[in-house]
Amino acid sequence: MDAPLLRDRKPTLTADALYQGAIALVTLLAMWWLSVRVASSGGSTAVVMLELVAAGSLAIANGGNDIANAVGTSVGAGALTVEQALGFGSLFEFAGAMLLGSLVSKTISKGVIEPREFADEPEIFAALMFSTVVGAALTTLLATVYGYPISATHGIVGGLVAVGWMARGWGCVGWGSLAFTCVMWILSPIAGMLASYILQLLCYRITQLDLESGMNSLIIPMLWTATLTVTCLFLFLTGPEAVRITPTSTAVVASTAAGIALTLLRYSILYINSLIYPKPATQAESEPLNASGWREDGGSSMAVVPGEGGGMEPPRGNGVHVWGKNEKPFVGLLVLSALTVAFAHGANDVGNAVGPLAVMMEIFTASVVKDEPDVPMWCLVIGALGFVVGIVTLGKNTIETVGNRIIELTPSLSYSTQMGAALAVLLSSVLGMPVSTSHCLVGSVIGVGLAQSSIAMCTHEEAPKINFGIINKIILGWIVTIPLAMVVGFINDHPHLSP
């Protein structure tokens, strides 16, 4: 019997999920118990070793959770198989972390606590960092095991609030910065929803045109130019400091020039390749499309299965797909944006996992407290390898949620989702708002679903089904993460601060 489609799998509490959750819980409880023993014995070497384990755990959790931001929609649309997504995602995350991770300046305190208040007691600050990492690792791991895309920053902020209060009282907590961050977390999915809603209305119009006649033939090159421009702008505005361009107007001009140049290069290569290796039309390419925009099995390698409405649909996850001619151009655009996001995430977020480790090393070697520590190469290796391990072992959980459990995606829908999230992040960055990419992406998935529902109302077609049940669970995960991380940080840090 064939394997069930990913989108048909029920979000049940499986034995694998229980096993993974139990392993994560036991591991982190063991780390907490060891930290209690170390705190009572005063062994700094053991604390550093525990921090290595904690930082690696956070990197694993972060990689497994956030990979859905990059490739989840590509898998949902069938542009990439799960195996391809995990492989390419791991490669680009690792490359971003190793090549540019050392150039990213990460503020460890997130504006929640003030490190200078601990200048006279650096060991206390080291204990705070360890407790924060343990809390963030636990909450992110649990969310990842059950497939809920969150932000590791949630756990870090929650842990910092708890340990900051324990160490210096409520006055140590930067309430203004904390409130602003929480408001931005609420606005993030709304921004992604609005951006993807508008973009999907445009993409739907494109899929209804004859893209091979007249001026319409220029639409696909224009889409490539726009996508490459947004991709470059995403790197220039939100990427590592080494590739950022200021002011914003200069970044826009540079991104536009790069988008045009790369598009011309792409089509020049395709043209030269067509002259050297002319490709005759195949029988499969000349076969008519069915009502769903997919070719039925007429002797080609394309396999089809009965759809819910009696039509024929492509099986997901086996890498064999033939889209309608107006869907296929979105595939390359979608994969391009996905791998760009993976590279940028590897460069940007490796500091969240190994930054606290670098803080502890500077404290134990030089007794210096820094909010933006210098991250050595061996720390980056731990973070990058942690990302890869997390993606390979846990990444499928959140990929399935984003790609298949909220709404059924096509290449054009996934493109609107990915670009909508990117545009929301870019606009927020220009305005100086610290939004969550995970929140923007989930909001974007909802946005394309609402856009398709609006289109269905106008065209009298069947509206897509949006799984609000899983959306409610994701939002609940966002809400629970911070207090849970606070509790873990409080329990874990108590032995370090007790007299």
**Amino acid identity at 395:** G
pLDDT tens-place string over residues 325-339: 678 888 888 888 888
Q: Which helix (H) or strand (E) segment is 313 a member of?
A: strand 312-313
- Per-residue exposure over 145-182, b if at least 16 CB sit within 10 Å of its own CB, e if not: bbbbbbbbbbbbbbbbbbbbbbbbeeebbbeebbeebe
- So what's the pLDDT on residue 447? 93
Question: Number of C-alpha atoms within 13 angstroms, CB side, residue 493?
Answer: 30
For 221, counting Cβ atoms within 10 Å of its Cβ (0-12 exposed, 13-18 middle, 19+ buried), the class is middle
Output the average pLDDT for the chain.
76
Q: Stretch 415-442: mean pLDDT, rounded? A: 81
pLDDT at 302 over 80: no
Give the pLDDT of residue 30. 59
The pLDDT value recorded for residue 263 is 93
Give which of 326, 336, 374, 324 is closest to 354, Cα–Cα. 374
- Higher-pLDDT residue of 451, 319: 451
What percent of the chain shows pLDDT beyond 70?
A: 74
Collect all residues with Cβ–Cβ distance below 8 Å to 302 and sequence separation of at least 6: 284, 295, 296, 314, 320, 321, 322
**Between 300 and 128, whose confidence is greater?**
128
Structural contact between residues 207 and 432, judged by C-beta atoms closer than 8 angstroms:
no
CB 424 within 8 A of CB 173: no
Q: What was the pLDDT predicted at 349?
A: 79
Task: Identify which of 385, 354, 371, 437 has the alpha carbon closest to the alpha carbon of residue 136.
Answer: 354
pLDDT for position 290: 38
pLDDT for 259: 93
Q: Which of 158-172, 276-290, 374-388 has the lowest mean pLDDT?
A: 276-290
Tens of pLDDT along 46-56? Answer: 666 777 888 88
Name the residue with higher pLDDT: 365 or 132.
132
Mean pLDDT, residues 160-189 = 80
SS3 305: strand
pLDDT of 419 strictly over 80: yes
Which of 289-293, 380-384, 427-431 shows the highest mean pLDDT?
Answer: 380-384
Q: Is the pLDDT of residue 256 over 90?
A: yes
More confident residue, 288 or 412: 412
Mean pLDDT to the nearest integer, 27-45: 53
**Is residue 445 predicted with pLDDT exceeding 80?**
yes
Which of 91-95, 256-260, 435-439 is predicted least confidently? 435-439
In this prediction, residue 304 has a pLDDT band, given cuts at 50, 70 and 90, of: very low
pLDDT of residue 351: 75
Domain boundaries, the chain: 15-182+346-411+467-497
pLDDT given for residue 307 in this prediction: 38
Range with lowest mean pLDDT among 105-114, 200-209, 278-287, 342-351: 278-287
| Closest to 211 measured CA to CA, from 73, 75, 412 | 412
Whole-number pLDDT of residue 364:
75
End-to-end CA distance of the chain: 63
User: SS3 helix, strand, coil % of the chain, rounded to 5?
Assistant: 75, 0, 25
pLDDT confidence tier of residue 280, bands split at 50, 70 and 90: low
Q: What is the pLDDT of residue 448?
A: 93
pLDDT of 377 over the 70 cut: yes
Q: Of the segments 157-161, 204-208, 355-359, which one has the largest average pLDDT value?
A: 204-208
Supply 193's token pair.
């929803």
Q: Say whether pLDDT at 8 is over 50.
A: no
Lowest mean pLDDT among 8-17, 45-54, 172-181: 8-17
Which of 3-7, 105-109, 226-230, 350-354 has the largest mean confidence?
226-230
Average pLDDT value for residue range 314-318: 41
pLDDT of residue 339: 86
Pairing between β-strand 305-306 and β-strand 312-313 as defined by DSSP bridges:
antiparallel
Question: What pLDDT is recorded for position 90?
Answer: 92
pLDDT band at 312 (very low <50, low <70, confident <90, very high): very low
What's the average model confidence in pLDDT over 103-107?
A: 59
Mean of the pLDDT values across residues 295-316? Answer: 37
Residue 78 pLDDT level (bands cut at 50, 70, 90): confident
Q: Is 460 helix (H, G, I), strand (E, B) or coil?
A: coil
Position 413 pLDDT exceeds 80: yes
What would the mean pLDDT of 164-193 be, rounded to a whole number?
Answer: 81
